[in-house]
Structure 1
Amino acid sequence: MQSKVFEISVTGTYHALLLPEEIVLPFLEKNLKRVQAKATFKGKELTFHGAIQKRNGKYYMMFGKRYQKELGVFPNDYFQLQFFEDTSKYGVEMPEELDAVLKSDYEANEIFESFTPGKKRGIIYMILGYKNSQTRIDKSILVCENLKRGVRNNPELLKSF
């Protein structure tokens, strides 16, 4: 499933995109609140995962400063956006480093898989925040060790005890 390409701009100070109802309703009718999105601006392209949120009768999606900088857009710049059905397991791409560490640690993987989808995404995003592959490996190992110690608070998962 995919939407047509549509024009959009960043609105307000919340780094959000005000989404056209005709674009989001077909996804919501199929209970697809998380989508994969492709944004295009002046020859640059960015693919990301996001959630369709409803506030005050309108539909929004977060589009943070990191995405804005990567795409080269500023508030009030119009760019193209298209939605696709999100077929990823976690609603975000799993970093290969975390995936490998979880596959090698049965106990930590069982704990990770017992979490809510949002909690899993939070942990994945923590690891994705590191650019260097070796750092991602090190942090993934640390997260797994802390999960087995009983740590459940996301910021504390990255602390050495």
Structure 2
Amino acid sequence: MEFEALLESFEASSVGYGPHFKIPQPIFETLNAQCKDKRVICYLNQTLRIHSGMMPKDGYHFILLNQAILKQHGMVLGDWIQVRLEVDNSEYGMEISEEFREVLFSDPEGSDWFHKLTPGKQRTLIHLINKIKNSQLKIERSFVILEHLKKRGGKLDYKILDQDIKDFRDSMKF
């Protein structure tokens, strides 16, 4: 489903502050009937492909973007962009790195705990790995995340996970 949209930003004090574009209601209704969880694949200006969720606000729905994506692709608030939305039928609602997929495969217990998390928490952890460029660091981060879940009986605590990641990095320094 294709349309043209204006890049806007919410008021600074508003919940959901950030660059976004509105989804025309008929398009939202069609996609929502096809989606199980409002996850879509967004193509912007025929060059950028991102996984995202259709978010509600004040009687309409929108896709939230981040400043880094806008800057990287030369987009600014006030620009009109070409948008194409498709239902996201991927397993996690976003791409998962090959490194994390292999670590999940090699650690069945960690994989079980990971797959018991809510889809949103799974995506957050996948994002923590995907944002790393170095393959070896992706593998290490993947192991730390699964060890965190196993150690805590599947309970995800972001502060403790952050400390676990720092502790692991410190243990690797010579």
TM-score by length of 2: 0.83
Q: Which has the higher contact order (CA 8 A, sep 6+)?
A: 1
- Supply the AA of the counterpart residue of 2:44: A
Matched, 1:12 2:9: yes
Q: Distance in 1 between matches of 2:69 and 2:25?
A: 22
Name which of structure 1's ranges 24-33 and 97-106 shifts more when overlaid on structure 2. 24-33
Q: Distance in 1 between matches of 2:82 and 2:40?
A: 16
* Residue 121 (structure 1) aligns with: 123
Q: Distance in 2 between matches of 1:16 and 1:153?
A: 29
Q: For 1:5-154, list aligned pairs within 5 A.
A: 5-13=2-10, 14-32=18-36, 33-40=38-45, 45-150=47-152, 152-154=156-158
Backbone CA RMSD of aligned residues: 1.6
Equivalent pairs counted in the alignment come to 155
Query: Unaligned 5+ residue runs, structure 1?
Result: none
Q: Secondary structure at the match of 1:113?
A: helix
Q: Secondary structure at the match of 2:45?
A: strand
Shift of 1:53: 1.2
Inter-CA distance 155–71: structure 2 relative to 1 (3 Å threshold): farther
- Supply the AA of the counterpart residue of 1:87: N
Inter-CA distance 155–68: structure 2 relative to 1 (3 Å threshold): farther
Matched, 1:159 2:156: no
Q: Distance in 2 between matches of 1:86 and 1:30?
A: 10
Asked whether the 8 Å contact 1:46–1:70 carries over to 2, the reply is no
Asked whether the 8 Å contact 2:34–2:87 carries over to 1, the reply is no
- Supply the AA of the counterpart residue of 1:40: N
Query: Unaligned 5+ residue runs, structure 2?
Result: 11-17, 168-174
Name which of structure 1's ranges 100-109 and 138-147 shifts more when overlaid on structure 2. 138-147
Q: Distance in 1 between matches of 2:160 and 2:128?
A: 11
Shift of 1:70: 2.5
Q: Distance in 1 between matches of 2:146 and 2:42?
A: 30
Q: If you compute each CA radius of gyration, which structure gives the higher value, 1 or 2?
A: 2
- Supply the AA of the counterpart residue of 2:82: Q
Shift of 1:131: 1.5
Q: Distance in 2 between matches of 1:90 and 1:103?
A: 15
Inter-CA distance 31–88: structure 2 relative to 1 (3 Å threshold): closer
